[in-house]
Chain A
Amino acid sequence: MMDQLMFWTPLLTVIVSALTGIVIFVAGERHALLRIILNLAAAIAKLLLVVMIGLLVRNGFTPEFRVSLVPGLDLVLRADALSMLFASLSAVLWLVTTVYAIAYLERSPNRARFFGFFSLCVAATMGISMAGNLLTFFIFYELLTLTTWPLVVHNGTATAIRAGGTYLRYTLSGGALFLVGLVWLYGISGPQAFVAGGTLADHAVDARLSLQIIFVLLTIGMGVKAALFPLHGWLPKAMVAPAPVSALLHAVAVVKAGAFGLIRLVEDVYGADLVADLGLDLPLLLIAAFTILYGSVQALRQVDLKKRLAFSTVSQVSYIILGIAIGGPVATVGGIVHLVHQGLMKIILFFCAGIFANLLGVKRIDQLDGIGRRMPWTSTSFTVGALGMIGLPPVAGFVSKWYLGAGAVEAGRTWVVAILVTSSVLNAAYFLPVLKRIWLHPPPDQWPHEARVSRLETGSLVGSAIVAAVLSLGVGLLAGHPLSPLNWVDSIVAGYFP
Chain B
Amino acid sequence: MTTEALALIVFLPLLAAAGAVVLPTAWLGLSIRVGLMPLPLLLLIPTLEVLENGAYRIALAGHSAPLGIAWQLDPLSLLMLWLNVGMTLLISLHANCSFRPGQPHAHRFWPLWLLLFAGMNALLLSADLFNIYVTLELVTLTAIGLIALEGKPPALRAAMRYLLLALLASLLYLLGVGLIYGQTGVLDLYLLAERLAPGWLSVTAIALMIVGLLIKAAIFPLHAWLPAAHGNAPGPVSAILSAMVVKVSIYLIWRLWFWGVPEWDLDRAALLLGVLGGMAIVYGSLAALVQQRLKLIIAYSTVAQLGYLLLLFPLASTLAFQAASYHLLSHGMAKAAMFLAAANILRSLGTDRLRHLAGIDQRLPLDVFALALGGVSIMGLPPSGGFLAKWLFLEAAWSARAWSWLILIALGGLLAAAYLFRVLAVVCLHPRRRGNHRHLKRTPDTASLAAMLLAVGAIIAGFTSAPILDLVEAGLPPGLPR
Binding site for B on A (CB under 8 A): 25, 28-29, 67-71, 73, 75, 110, 113, 138-139, 142-143, 145-146, 149-150, 153-158, 161, 164-165, 168, 172-173, 175-177, 179-180, 183-184, 186-187
Given known pairs A183-B391, A187-B399, the reply for A165 and B414 (CB within 8 Å) is: no
Nearest CB of B to A109, in Å: 8
Once bound together, how far apart are the Cα atoms of A73 and B394, in whole Å? Answer: 14
Whether A139 contacts B382 in the complex (CB less than 8 A), given A70-B388, A153-B428, A179-B394, comes out as: yes
**Nearest CB to that of B462 among chain A residues?**
A69
Q: 26 A-B contacts, Cβ less than 8 Å apart?
A: A29-B362, A70-B388, A70-B465, A70-B466, A70-B469, A71-B466, A71-B469, A75-B463, A139-B382, A142-B382, A143-B381, A149-B421, A156-B428, A156-B429, A157-B430, A164-B425, A168-B417, A168-B421, A176-B413, A176-B414, A177-B410, A179-B391, A179-B394, A179-B410, A180-B394, A187-B398
Q: Which residues of B contact A156 (CB under 8 A)?
A: 359, 428-430
In the complex, what distance in Å separates the CA atom of A75 from the CA atom of B383?
Answer: 11
- Smallest Cβ-Cβ distance to A140: which chain B residue: B382
Residues of B within 8 A of A158 (CB): 429
Closest 8 CB pairs of A and B: A156-B430, A139-B382, A183-B394, A187-B398, A176-B410, A153-B428, A161-B425, A142-B381
Contacts between chains A and B (CB distance < 8 A), count: 85
Contact of A165 among B365, B392, B413, B425 (CB under 8 A): B425
Contact indicator B414/A173 (Cβ below 8 Å) = yes
B405 to chain A, nearest CB (A): 12
Count the B residues whose beta carbon is within 8 Å of the partner chain — how many? Answer: 36
Which residues on the B side are within 8 Å of A67 (C-beta)? 463
B469 touches A180 (CB 8 A): no
Q: How far is the CA of A161 from the CA of B427 in the complex (A)?
A: 10
Contact A69 B417 (CB under 8 A): no
Q: Which residue of A lies closest to B465 (CB)?
A: A70
Least distance between B408 CB and chain A CB atoms (Å):
11
Give A87 to B341 CA distance when docked, in angstroms.
37
B28 at the interface (CB under 8 A from A): no
Q: Is B51 an interface residue (CB 8 A)?
A: no
Interface residue from B391, B414, B470 paired with A172 (Cβ < 8 Å): B414
CB nearest to B383 among chain A residues: A139
Establish whether residues A143 and B425, one from each chain, have CB atoms under 8 Å apart when the complex forms: no
Of the candidates B365, B376, B406, B465, which one forms a contact with A25 in the assembled complex, judged by CB atoms under 8 Å apart? Answer: B365
- Nearest opposing residue in chain A for B395, CB measure: A183
In angstroms, Cα B466 to Cα A73, docked, is 10
Among B399, B421, B463, max chain A CB count under 10 A is at B421
Alpha-carbon distance between A157 and B432 when the two chains are bound, in angstroms = 9
A28 CB to nearest chain B CB (Å) = 7
The answer to whether the Cβ of B290 comes within 8 Å of any Cβ in the partner chain is no
Pick from B390, B428, B463, B466: contact of A150, CB under 8 Å: B428
B361 touches A (CB below 8 Å): yes
Which residue of chain B has the shortest Cβ distance to A165 in the bound complex? B425
Contacts of A29 in B (CB 8 A): 362
Q: Which residue of A lies closest to B414 (CB)?
A: A176
CA distance A458 to B430 in the complex (A): 28
Residues on B with beta carbons closer than 8 Å to the beta carbon of A145: 381
Assess the B382–A28 pair: CB atoms within 8 A.
Answer: no
Mark interface residues in B378-393 (1 if CB within 8 Å of A CB, else 0): 0001110001101110
Which residue of A is nearest B406, CB measured? A180
Closest Cβ of chain A: how far from B425's Cβ, in Å? 5
Q: How far is the CA of A156 from the CA of B429 in the complex (A)?
A: 4
Residue of B nearest to A187 (CB): B398
B201 at the interface (CB under 8 A from A): no
B411 touches A (CB below 8 Å): yes
In the complex, besides A28-B365, A71-B470, A161-B425, 10 extra interface pairs with C-beta distance below 8 angstroms are: A25-B365, A29-B362, A69-B462, A70-B388, A113-B361, A143-B383, A145-B381, A153-B425, A156-B430, A180-B406
Taking the nearest CB of chain B, how far is it from the CB of A285, in angstroms? 29
Contacts of A150 in B (CB 8 A): 428
Check A146–B381 contact: CB distance below 8 A. yes
Q: How far is the CA of A28 from the CA of B383 in the complex (A)?
A: 24
**Min CB gap B117→A, angstroms:** 31
In the complex the two chains form, what is the Cα distance from A113 to B362 in whole Å? 9
Q: Give the CA-CA distance A138 to B383 in the complex, in Å.
A: 10
Complex partner residue of B395 from A173, A175, A186, CB under 8 angstroms: A186
Nearest-neighbour CB distance to chain A for B347, whole angstroms, equals 21
Instruction: Give the residues in chain A near B388, CB-CB below 8 Å.
Output: 69-70
- Complex Cα–Cα for A175 and B421 (A): 15
Min Cβ gap B160→A in Å is 39
**Distance in angstroms between the alpha carbons of A149 and B411 in the assembled complex:** 20
CA distance A161 to B425 in the complex (A): 6
Partner of B429, one of A161, A168, A173: A161
Q: Collect the chain A residues with CB atoms within 8 Å of residue B429's CB.
A: 156, 158, 161
Most buried by B among A69, A143, A149: A69
Q: Which of B362, B382, B387 contacts A110 (CB 8 A)?
A: B362
Q: Which residue of A lies closest to B319 (CB)?
A: A70
Most chain B C-beta atoms within 10 Å of own C-beta, residue among A25, A150, A180: A180
Please tell me if the beta carbons of A146 and B469 are within 8 angstroms of each other in the complex. Answer: no
Of A143, A155, A161, A168, the contact of B382 (CB 8 Å cutoff): A143
User: Within the assembled complex, what's the spacing in Å between the Cα atoms of A146 and B395?
Assistant: 24
Q: Which residues of B contact A75 (CB under 8 A)?
A: 463
Residues of B within 8 A of A161 (CB): 425, 428-429
List, in ascending order, chain B residues with CB within 8 A of A177's CB. 410
With contacts A150-B428, A180-B406 known, is A69 near B365, CB below 8 A? no
What CA separation (Å) do A149 and B398 show in the bound complex?
31
Who on chain B is nearest to A110 by CB? B362
- CB neighbours (8 Å) of A25 from chain B are 365, 369
- The residue of chain A having its C-beta at the shortest distance from the C-beta of B396 within the complex is A183
> Using Cβ atoms and an 8 Å threshold, which residues of chain A touch B395?
183, 186-187
A153 to B423, CA, bound (A): 13
* Alpha-carbon distance A180/B421, docked complex (angstroms): 22
CA distance A177 to B410 in the complex (A): 8
Closest residue of chain A to B368 (Cβ to Cβ) is: A113
Q: Max chain B CB contacts within 10 Å: which of A70, A71, A172, A184?
A: A70
Q: Which residue of chain A has its CB nearest to the CB of B390?
A: A179
Query: Chain A contacts of B469 at CB under 8 A?
Result: 70-71
Decide if A70 touches B463 in the complex (CB within 8 Å): no
Q: Which residues of A contact B382 (CB under 8 A)?
A: 138-139, 142-143
Q: Give Cα A25–Cα B362 distance, bound, in whole angstroms.
A: 11
Which residues in B have their C-beta under 8 angstroms from that of A186?
395, 398
Nearest-Cβ distance from residue A423 to partner chain B, whole angstroms: 35
Least Cβ–Cβ distance between A468 and chain B, in angstroms: 30
Chain B 356-373, CB-CB to A under 8 Å as 1, else 0, gives 000101100100010000
A146–B407 Cα gap in the complex (Å)?
Answer: 22
CB distance from A65 to the nearest CB of B (A): 13
Q: How far is the CB of B410 from chain A (nearest CB, A)?
A: 5
A71: B residues at CB distance < 8 A: 466, 469-470
Residues on A with beta carbons closer than 8 Å to the beta carbon of B463 = 67, 69, 75
A69-B425 contact, Cβ under 8 Å, with A142-B382, A156-B359, A183-B394: no
- A145 to B463: give the CA distance in the assembly, Å: 20
Bound complex: CA of A110 vs CA of B469, how far in Å?
Answer: 41
In the complex, which residues 334-361 of chain B have their Cβ closer than 8 Å to any Cβ of chain A? Answer: 359, 361
Taken together as a complex, chains A and B put the C-alpha atoms of A25 and B365 apart, in Å, by 9
On chain A, the residues within 8 Å of B414 by CB distance are 172-173, 176
Q: Which residue of A lies closest to B397 (CB)?
A: A183
Closest residue of chain A to B382 (Cβ to Cβ) is A139
Give B370 Cβ to nearest chain A Cβ, in Å: 13
Q: In whole Å, how far is A264's beta carbon from the nearest beta carbon of chain B? A: 17
**Which of A28, A113, A157 is packed against the most chain B CB atoms within 10 Å?**
A113
- Nearest Cβ on chain A to B482's Cβ, whole angstroms: 12
Enumerate chain A residues within 8 angstroms of B462, measured Cβ to Cβ.
69
Please indicate the chain B residues that have their CB under 8 angstroms from the CB of A69 in the complex: 388, 462-463, 465
Q: Which residues of B contact A153 (CB under 8 A)?
A: 425, 428
C-alpha gap A177/B417 in the complex (Å)? 15
| Chain B residues within an 8 Å CB radius of A154 | 428
A161 to B463 CA separation, bound complex (whole angstroms): 32
